[in-house]
Structure 1
Amino acid sequence: MRPNKRDELVRKALQVFYRDGFHVTGMDKLVVETGVSKTSMYKHFRTKEELILAALQLRDENFRKWFLQRVDKLADTPAERLIASFDVLGEWFLEDSFRGCMFIKAGAEYQEQDHPIHVQAAEHKHLMLEFLTNLARQAGARDPEALGCQLLLLQEGAIVTAVLVKSCDPARDAKAAAQVLLDNALA
């Protein structure tokens, strides 16, 4: 395989893992779905877990880049960006390919705290928390760490609700709650 074929394999595997889950997706299924021979796949990844880690890394890079760019495009000030982050979630929820959060799924399928896949999933959430906390600090929140945690909790709850409860508008509802929290943190 050419060097860029490894990246193509990771990209295709990411789509399969996101759509179908990690444990249910075996190497035989990945061979069929990616069009890469089992020999070539194992040439680049000794185990399925190594491929999952590469897919999670790509998902993290792609998602955060998209998310942060959309937030920046929608709002000018740090306080506005905190609230706009919920509008961006709403855009994501409306995508045909939306299947929830790959990192929530990874953490649920690999629950041992020290498992590398669990650790990588948690790292994504820590990076999102850091983003929110930094915005809260820039906005002048009295306790930016607490506000960051509260907003992350709202976002994670909105993601799960968007998957499971179709009668709600989780992005809108979480945004309204976030505005109350923000107003209180800045008062």
Structure 2
Amino acid sequence: MSPLLPLEEQVLRSAEALIYAHGVHAVGMDGIVRLSGVPRRTIYKRFGSKEGLVRQVLQQRHVRWMSWLDREVTRRATDPRERLLAVFDVLHDWFGTEDFHGCAFINITGQYADPNEPARVVAREHKAALLDWLASACQAAGCPSPQAWAARFLVLVDGAIAVASVAGSPAAALDAQSVARALLDTLPFPPQENDR
């Protein structure tokens, strides 16, 4: 992805803040123009359409969100199984922020009926990337069939996000973490270095 010009970044940040808080269809170009301070003509010249802008917003959020998740999990834990559990500590902190409005990618999916809508395609790609990240974490933790285990963890992650969004409470992350811990407790402990 090529580096963004300052005006483009301003538009993307403004559009993301509005769309994430209010939804795609509730946000008009007038609001994006007003918040970003960038003329409508410049926005259309760069992004082509509102749909093009939404797609770019989601692509940028995907890159930033995945990087944030990996960084925050790594900061909290080095043990492979503890890394999987740390995912829910990271989510708990996120759920407690003032600007938490659920998963932007799930939110977007609910706003378009056509599964081939470009925004929905980006949302699917995001979930596939998150599933791959979880599969790598599950493999490192010694889970058999890491892809199947990753699918279970994705359900816990997305379920926690949905419950926290509806309930307005970060506790869903800790509930999901307790289920994740119970799942991991069914696995035999991997051999330690000094046991080999």
After TM superposition, the score normalised by the length of structure 2 is 0.90
Deviates more, 1:111-120 or 1:148-157: 111-120
One-letter amino acid matched to 2:16:
L
Aligned to 1:130: 132
Q: Which residue of 2 aligns with 1:15?
A: 17
Change (3 A) 1:134 1:31: same
**Pairing 1:3–2:18 present:** no
- 1:42 is aligned, of 41, 44, 53, to 44
User: Which residue in 1 is equivalent to 2:55?
Assistant: 53
Post-superposition shift, 1:65? Answer: 1.0
1:168–1:64 distance in 2 versus 1, CA, 3 Å: closer
Structure 2 matches for 1:8-157, cutoff 5 A? 8-157=10-159
2:176 alignment partner, one of 166, 174, 177: 174
Provide the C-alpha distance between the structure 2 equivalents of 1:8 and 1:72, rounded to a whole number of angstroms.
30
| Number of residue pairs matched by the alignment | 186
Shift, 1:159, TM fit: 0.4
- Which amino acid in structure 2 is aligned with residue 119 of structure 1? V
Identity %: 35
| 2-structure distance, mates of 1:97, 1:58 | 18
SS of 1:184's equivalent in the other structure is: coil
One-letter amino acid matched to 1:72? T
Contact 1:75 1:81 in 2 (8 A): yes
**Larger of the two Rg values belongs to structure:** 2
- Read off the aligned partner of 1:40 and give its amino acid letter: T
Contact 1:147–1:185 (CA<8 Å) still a contact in 2? no
Deviation for aligned residue 1:9: 1.1
SS of the equivalent of 2:94 reads helix
Which structure 1 residue ranges, 4+ long, deviate > 6 Å from structure 2? none
Question: Alpha carbons of 1:180 and 1:125: their partners in 2 closer, same or farther (altered >3 Å)?
Answer: same
Distance (whole Å) between structure 1 residues aligned to residue 100 and residue 169 of structure 2: 16
Shift of residue 70 of structure 1?
0.4
* Runs (5+) with no aligned partner, structure 1: none
Q: Which of the two has greater helix per residue?
A: 1
CA distance in 2: counterparts of 1:185 and 1:115, whole angstroms: 40
Q: CA deviation at 1:186?
A: 4.3
SS class of match (1:82): helix
Comparing 82-91 with 140-149, greater Cα deviation is found at 140-149
Alignment gaps of 5+ in structure 2? 190-196
- In structure 2, give the amino acid aligned to 1:92: W
Provide the rounded CA distance (Å) in 2 between the counterparts of 1:166 and 1:38.
Answer: 35
1:95–1:159 distance in 2 versus 1, CA, 3 Å: same
Cα deviation, 1:73-118, whole Å, max 9, x if unaligned, reads 1001221110100000001001111111100111111232221110
